[in-house]
């Protein structure tokens, strides 16, 4: 998929959008949410109540933890 199509399809005004397991996978979320080398300190990560949130938040936390950040 071309980058521009990828961006238009998943990135909207309310953040990343898509069907979990099809468009949004833990691997994709890890790639998107993995902070740059300058990320440090403590990060608070939240989610909504959808059942898919538990899997996706683990990917976000993994990205932060892989850079040595503290996650609450």
Write down the pLDDT at residue 2. Answer: 46
Q: What is the mean pLDDT of the chain?
A: 78
Spatial separation of the C-alpha atoms in residues 28 and 8, rounded to whole Å: 15
Specify the DSSP element, H or E, that contains 16.
strand 15-16
pLDDT tens sequence across 24-51: 888 888 777 665 656 678 989 888 898 8
pTM to 2 decimal places:
0.68
């Amino acid at each position: 998929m071309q980058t521009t199509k990828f961006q238009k399809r998943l990135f909207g005004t309310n953040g990343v959008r898509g069907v979990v397991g099809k468009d949004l996978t833990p691997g994709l979320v890890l790639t998107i949410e993995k902070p740059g080398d300058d990320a440090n300190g403590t990060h608070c990560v939240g989610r909504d109540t959808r059942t898919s949130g538990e899997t996706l938040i683990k990917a976000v936390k993994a990205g932060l933890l892989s850079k040595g950040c503290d996650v609450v």
